[in-house]
C-alpha cells in the first residue's frame, strides 16, 4: 500500500462511524492507493439530503450533496486529492450538506481517466501521469464551469460561494481564490505552496499569487508533512503578510499543526489525526461563516 506523504472533523450526531475490513473499504469506493486496513472512516448519513451525479456544461461530471426541500443555500466547491472523486470526497460533500451547504465535487480528471483508474490503482506513477495531464488552465476552466452552474441553480444562494480542497486540490483552492471574484472564501488543506526543486513546468504556484487573492483563504497544514516543509509554509505566511495591502490577502491565514502529517483530515488513511482533523474542520466552517458563506 502507498502511504501518501507528499502533495498532490467530525460533524455532530449526523455521523455514523464503523470499522470495516480493507476489502469492504475498497468495495465502498475509497482510493486503493491510500486506504488503510485499520481505518475507521466517517460515514455521513444522506438522510435529509439530495445526493446525485450531475453533468455540467462541456460534459464536466460532478457529485452533488445538498439539503433536501425548498430554499437556497450557500455552496462549496470541493476539490479532490489526486485520487479523484472517490468515496471520501463524496463523504466530505455530505458533511458539508449536513452543515447546510450545497457541495459539489467536479471530476477534474474525467477527460484522462474515463475508467476511474485513480480510485482503483496502487501504481503511483500511473496516478501522477493522469493528474499531471490536468494543467492549471483546464482546472481553472472547470472551476469557472462549476461556478456558472452553481449560479444557475435555484437551490443555491449564488452570492455565497466558497471552495475547499485537499492535497492537489489544496493548491487549486489558492489559485482559484486569486482568479474568481465570485468566491467569498477558500479552505486549502495541505496543498503544495511552490514548485518542487526539479520542476520543469513553467507555471504559477500559490506563493506567486498570495498578494492578489480575491477571497480570503484559510490554509491548513501539518508540520510533519514530508512534501511541504515548514519552511514553505512560513514562506507562504510571509507572502501573505507582505501582501496585506490587499484586503483578501490580509484576511487570509495559515494554521500549522505541529503533530500532523500530510492528509490529516483523511480518516480513511493512516495519516488521519483524530484531534487536529476535527479542529481544522471546525476552523474551516468558522472561516466560511466569518466571510458570509
Distance of alpha carbon 226 from alpha carbon 130, whole angstroms: 22
Q: Of 93, 113, 167, 177, which is the active-site residue?
A: 167
- Distance of alpha carbon 27 from the chain centroid: 23
Which residue matches cell numbers 489558492? 174
Phi, psi of 67 (to 5 degrees): -60, 140
User: Could you tell me if 119 and 31 are in contact, meaning their C-beta atoms sit under 8 angstroms apart?
Assistant: yes
What are 79's strand-pairing partners? 165
Q: How many alpha carbons lie under 13 Å from residue 186 in its C-beta half-sphere?
A: 36
User: Could you tell me if 219 and 188 are in contact, meaning their C-beta atoms sit under 8 angstroms apart?
Assistant: yes
| 93 belongs to the catalytic site | no
| 262 belongs to the catalytic site | yes
Q: Of 113, 225, 276, 279, which is the active-site residue?
A: 225
Q: Which of helix, strand or coil describes residue 34?
A: coil
Q: Which helix (H) or strand (E) holds 74?
A: strand 73-79
Which residue matches cell numbers 498532490? 8
Cell numbers for 131: 493528474
Largest CA distance in the chain: 52
Provide DSSP, 2-18. ----S-----STTEEE-
Alpha-carbon torsion angle 89, 91, 97, 99, nearest 10: -110
Q: Of 142, 262, 267, 279, which is the active-site residue?
A: 262
Residue ranges in the chain assigned as alpha helix (H): 22-28, 87-98, 117-120, 124-132, 136-151, 168-177, 230-242, 247-250, 276-290
Which residues have a catalytic role annotated? 167, 225, 262
Amino acid at each position: 500500500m502507498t502511504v501518501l506523504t507528499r502533495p498532490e472533523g467530525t460533524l455532530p450526531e449526523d455521523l455514523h462511524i464503523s470499522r470495516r475490513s480493507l476489502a469492504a473499504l475498497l468495495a465502498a469506493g475509497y482510493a486503493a492507493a491510500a486506504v488503510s486496513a485499520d481505518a475507521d472512516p466517517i460515514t455521513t448519513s444522506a438522510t435529509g439530503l439530495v445526493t446525485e451525479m450531475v453533468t455540467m456544461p462541456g460534459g464536466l461530471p460532478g457529485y452533488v450533496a445538498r439539503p433536501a426541500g425548498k430554499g437556497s443555500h450557500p455552496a462549496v466547491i470541493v476539490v479532490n486529492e489526486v485520487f479523484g472523486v472517490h468515496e471520501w470526497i463524496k463523504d466530505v460533500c455530505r458533511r458539508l450538506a449536513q452543515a447546510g451547504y450545497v457541495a459539489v465535487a467536479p471530476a477534474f480528471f474525467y477527460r484522462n481517466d474515463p475508467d476511474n483508474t485513480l480510485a482503483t490503482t496502487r501504481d503511483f506513477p500511473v496516478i501522477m501521469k493522469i493528474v499531471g495531464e490536468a494543467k492549471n488552465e483546464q482546472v481553472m476552466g472547470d472551476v469557472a464551469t462549476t461556478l456558472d452552474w452553481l449560479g444557475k441553480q435555484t437551490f443555491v444562494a449564488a452570492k455565497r460561494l466558497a471552495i475547499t480542497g485537499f492535497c492537489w486540490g489544496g493548491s487549486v483552492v489558492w489559485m482559484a481564490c486569486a482568479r474568481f471574484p465570485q468566491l467569498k472564501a477558500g479552505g486549502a488543506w495541505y496543498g503544495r505552496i511552490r514548485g518542487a526543486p526539479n520542476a520543469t513546468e513553467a507555471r504559477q504556484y500559490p506563493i506567486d499569487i498570495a498578494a492578489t487573492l480575491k477571497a480570503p483563504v484559510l490554509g491548513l497544514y501539518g508540520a510533519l508533512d514530508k512534501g511541504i516543509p515548514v519552511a514553505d509554509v512560513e514562506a507562504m505566511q510571509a507572502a501573505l503578510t507582505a501582501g496585506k495591502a490587499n484586503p483578501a490577502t490580509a484576511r487570509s491565514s495559515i494554521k500549522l499543526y505541529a503533530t500532523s502529517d500530510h492528509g490529516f483530515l483523511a480518516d480513511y488513511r493512516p495519516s488521519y489525526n483524530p484531534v487536529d482533523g476535527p479542529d481544522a474542520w471546525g476552523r474551516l466552517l468558522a472561516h466560511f461563516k466569518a466571510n458570509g458563506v
